[in-house]
Every structure is written in C-alpha cells, then in structure tokens.
Amino acid sequence: MSDNVSFKNRIGTKIVATFLATVLLAIGSISFSMYKQSYDLFVSSLGNKSLTIAKTGANEIDIEDFKKLNTPEDEKTESYNTIREKLNAIREISGAKFLFTMKRDSSGNYVYIVDGLDYSSEDISHLGDIAENINGKFDLAYSGSPYIADKIEVSEWGKLVSSLYPLKDSSGSIVGLIGADYDVAAEYDALIEMRTKIILIAMLSMAIASAIAIFISRKISKPIVKTTSLINKIAVLDLSYDESYSELSKNSDETGVMAKSLTQMRDTLSNMVHIIRSSSGEIDNQAAGLSAVAGQMASATATISDAIQEVAVGTGAQANDLTNITEILNRFSRHIEDMGNSIEDIGSGSKSIQCNASKGSIDMRELSNSVDSVGKSFNEFTSKISVLGDRLSQINKITEIINGIASQTSLLALNASIESARAGEAGSGFAVVAEEIRKLAEQSKNSAENINSLIAGVTLEASTMTKMTDTMSNELDDQVRVINTAMDSFSRIISGVDDAVPRIEAIGSVTSAILCEKNSIIEKIECASSVSQEVSASSEEIASSSEEMNASTEEVSSSAKVLAHMTRELAAQMGKFQL
C-alpha cells in the first residue's frame, strides 16, 4: 500500500521534484540569457557611442599644439584653452560625463593633459596630474588599438561606460590618447529594474509550475497507487474478485493497460490454482508408475551397455589395423613417387641425350665436310708447292747464266783496263768505263749468288712443306675415318634413344596410373579407418550414454518419489490461495 512508502520515495513527490527542477533550470537559463543579452547589447551600444565621442574629440584636436603641452605652465597658452573648449563643447553636446586627454611621461606614468570639464567643476584634472587606478586598457590604447569597455564600471565617479582612442601625429606615431566616460546611471537603473522583474516573473512561473506539477503528479500517481494496492493483494495470495479495481481498467493510459493485465493475471492465477489442485492427485499416481518403469529401464540399459562395449573394442582394433595399413601404403606411395620422379628425370635426360646426339651428328657431318674441304685445299697447296719447286729450278738456271755473264763481263773489263793503260791518256776515259763495268759485273755476280742462296733456302722449305703436307694429308685421312666412326656411333645412339624414350614414357604413365590408384586405395582405407574410428567412438558414446541412462533411470525413480512428495506439498500450498 502507498501508506508504507515514505514521502520522499513516493512517485508523486518524484514527479513534482523532477518537473520543478526542469522548469527551474529552463526559467533560470532563459532569464539569465535574456538579461545577459540585454546587458551585452546595452554595453556594446553605449561603448560604441563613447568611442564615437572620443574619435570626434580626436579629430578636433590639433596634434601639433597637443604635442607642445607638457608642463603645468602650458595651461595658460592659447593652444591649451582652444583644445579644452572644443572638448568641453563636444562633451556637453554628446552627453558624456568626462572627456579628457592623456600622455605617458618618461617615467611611464599616465598624466592628464587637457580635461574637457568646466574650470568650476571639482572633478577637473590639471595638466601634469598623474592618473590613478591605471589598468591594461591604457596600455592597449597607447599601443594603437582603440579600447571599448565590455561592462559598466560602478565607482565613486558614477556608473560609466568608458572608451579610449589613440592620438597619432602625421607620421603615425602615438603621442597620447583621448578618453570618453559616458554616464549610464539611468540605463543601469533600468537594467537593475529589468533584472528584478525577470526574477519576479521567474518566481511566479515557479509557483504556477509547482501547482501544475502537483496536479499532474496526483493525476498520474493516484491510478499507480491503486494499481500498487492490487499488486500487493495478489502478492499475499488473495485472488478474490474486488469490484473497486475494475475502475482502473477504464483508464486509457498505461495505468489502465497495467490494471487490465493485472486483472487478467489474477484470473489466470485463479484458474491455474484450480487446475493444479485437481491435477496434483493424478501426478502422484503417475509418479508411482514412473518409478516402476525407471527400474525396468535400468536393467535393460545395463545389458545394452555391455554389448556396445564389446562392439567398441572390436571396432577400435579394426581402426588400428587400418591405420597401420594406411601407413604402409603411404611409405609404398612415397617409394613409387620417388621412382616416378626418377623415371621423369631419366626421360628428360634421354630426350636431352637424343637432342644432343642429333645435334652432334649434324656437327660431325659438318666437320667431315670441313675436313674434306681442308684435304682438297692441301692437295691444291701440294701441287702449287711442286710447281714452285720447278719455278725455283728454272730461276737457279737463270742465275747460273747470270753468273757466267758476270764472269765474262769482269774479264772483259779487265782486258779493257789493260788496253786503256797501254793507250795512255787517250784511254783514261775508257778505263773509267771499264772499271764501272767491272764493278757492275761483280754486283751482278753477288746478286746472283744471293738469289741462289735464297732459292736454295726456299727450295729446302718447299721440300719440308711438301713432306708436312703429306703428313697432314695422312692425318686428315685418319680424322675422316674417326669422324665417320663417330657418326656411325651417333646414329646408333640416336636409334637406341629413340627406342628407349617411348619405353620410359610408358613406364612413367604406368607409374602415374599406380599413383592415382594408390591415392584411391588410401582414400578408401582412410575412409574405412575413419568410419571404424567413428563407429568405435559412437559405440563408446552409446555405452557412456547407456551408463548415463542407467544413472538417469535411477534418478528418474528417485525423482518420481520426490515428485510424489512435492505434489502433496503443492496441494497443501494451493490450499492457501483465497479464491
């Protein structure tokens, strides 16, 4: 019942808390976002306005006159007064609260130069006054970047939005800065008022949301509480009909569906209790019969288990024998494969020998033809050497004639010298001619002797060459006979290889066929071995299953007794239900 659930754990409380937390988060986020956007827009708009005032003031300042203002005495100069009057006019027209210019001195301090306030104002700053409360915005503006405040500054000077703008000379160098402080007191008060209204609206929204949450939680939790009561009633085994719960089924939401399901479950449980009560007696009778049948099954499974054990032993031995046969065939297969590979190598070698023998036979024929050609060339060479010997004999005869002529000429020259000596001076010219003729005759004789010597050497060499050609001719004849013998041997080798190759190929084919048949035999034996192993394993499994069945039948018998006891207890428990 719902009275047993603490307040904080009730579903209605959780619904209200969740709804209020969600609404609070949503309202808070929206309110903060609205205020933040309004604040940022307000500050951005006034900041831009303040910067516009500062830019306007910068445009009105004569930079060269501004650069000359350095000491308090310069306040009395016309340049100072001109700049101050312009800044004061801009401040009054724009509505800015402060409009001032500053410089950074040699010590790094920021000092006021021209203040746009009236001389009568107590807040006016004089030339050379050091600015206090300096922060990074001044350094930013002095580096050349304009500064716009991103928030409203609330201080003793009021509620202000500030901006700073750098002052540059004609060369672009920064010589100072101008600042504008815009008074936003009225706008700031309006923002505070708007924030207060947003908070009030949020609180009002929370109150309305709380009322809605309580109404919704009651609307949702009431059927759930009623349904919980029905569940608790079923939990204590009270399945009696109660008209007050029928109203829950009329709801069209999930609680109505749950109530219908619970009502159906209650009716179903009631029917099941009736059925179980009526069936428990029958179950008790069947359990007794089941126990008797289990005893008979135990006896039968013991006999089957013994028979299957014997089958398993026989099939195991058969599987081992088939495994040994398979190993023997595998070794035989490896030997056959090695023999097949050897036969293939022999076949390849035979084909290679056949090819080489054919090529060698062709080469030997070409060699025989070459030797025949060499023999013919030697015969022609021998005949030419014989002709050369004849020509040398003829040359030798001619040289002998030349030698005779040279001797006679030398003798005639001697006689001519003697006669010229007798003639005296008249025969001196003839003596010179005779001397030259004698020298020519001697040269001819020497040349003839040299020719004879050369001819003798050539003749000797020709004779030696003739003998060598005869020897080489005999050797060529022997080579021809050897080549012819080799050609006959190559022919016999080619013929033998031609006969051997088909036989080797036939042996290879037979070996391949044996290998194919071997694979088939091994596959069949392995299949039979596998079947035997499977039969053995199946037999062992069946035997094991029989033993398990025997044990199971005993368990069934025991379970039947337990079941009978449990049915009696179940009947007792069913008596506790209120129908």
Amino acid 163: pLDDT: 92
* CA pair distance 529, 516, nearest whole angstrom: 20
2: pLDDT confidence band, cut at 50, 70 and 90? very low
Does pLDDT of 374 surpass 50? Answer: yes
Say if residues 308 and 546 touch (Cβ distance below 8 Å): yes
Q: Which residues of 160-182 are buried (b: 16+ CB within 10 A; e: fewer)?
A: bbbbbbbbeeeeeeebbbbbbbb
Angle between helices 185-235 and 254-423 (to 10 degrees): 110
In this structure, is residue 465 part of a structural domain? no
* CA pair distance 83, 404, nearest whole angstrom: 153
**What is the bridge-based pairing of β-strands 153-155 and 147-148?**
unpaired
Higher pLDDT, 88 or 264: 88
Amino acid 284: pLDDT: 63
Does pLDDT of 497 surpass 90? Answer: no
CA 564 distance to own-chain centroid: 68
In this structure, is residue 362 part of a structural domain? no
Amino acid 553: pLDDT: 67
Closest C-alpha to 153, from 68, 31, 254, 47? 47
Total tally of structural domains belonging to the chain: 1
Closest C-alpha to 105, from 56, 76, 138, 65? 138
Query: Is 505 exposed, middle or buried, given 0-12, 13-18 or 19+ CB atoms closer than 10 A?
Result: middle
Would you tell me how many other CB atoms lie within 10 Å of the CB of residue 31? 17
1: pLDDT confidence band, cut at 50, 70 and 90? very low
Amino acid 177: pLDDT: 93
Q: Output the six-digit token pair for 539.
A: 């037999």
- Greatest mean pLDDT range, 34-43, 445-454, 503-512, 547-556: 34-43
In this structure, is residue 42 part of a structural domain? yes
352: pLDDT confidence band, cut at 50, 70 and 90? confident
**What is the bridge-based pairing of β-strands 110-115 and 147-148?**
unpaired
Would you tell me how many other CB atoms lie within 10 Å of the CB of residue 567? 20
Amino acid 158: pLDDT: 82
Domain that holds residue 21: 7-218
What mean pLDDT value characterizes the chain? 76
Does pLDDT of 60 surpass 80? Answer: yes
Q: What number is the average pLDDT over the span 1-29?
A: 74
Record the pTM: 0.39
pLDDT tens, residue by residue, 118-149? 877 888 888 888 888 777 888 888 888 899 98
- What Rg do the C-alpha atoms of the chain give, in angstroms? 71
In this structure, is residue 380 part of a structural domain? no
Amino acid 411: pLDDT: 79
In this structure, is residue 224 part of a structural domain? no
Would you tell me how many other CB atoms lie within 10 Å of the CB of residue 96? 25
Of all residues in the chain, the percent with pLDDT exceeding 90 is: 7
Say if residues 477 and 351 touch (Cβ distance below 8 Å): no
Q: Output the six-digit token pair for 515.
A: 């290998």
- Greatest mean pLDDT range, 17-31, 75-89, 344-358: 75-89
CATH number for the domain that contains residue 57: 3.30.450.20
- Greatest mean pLDDT range, 54-68, 292-306, 432-446: 54-68
In this structure, is residue 150 part of a structural domain? yes
Q: Output the six-digit token pair for 386.
A: 């014989």
Q: Output the six-digit token pair for 445.
A: 């004789």
In this structure, is residue 201 part of a structural domain? yes
Range from 113-127, 203-217, 319-333, 391-405 carrying the lowest mean pLDDT: 319-333
In this structure, is residue 247 part of a structural domain? no
* CA pair distance 128, 114, nearest whole angstrom: 9
Higher pLDDT, 68 or 538: 68
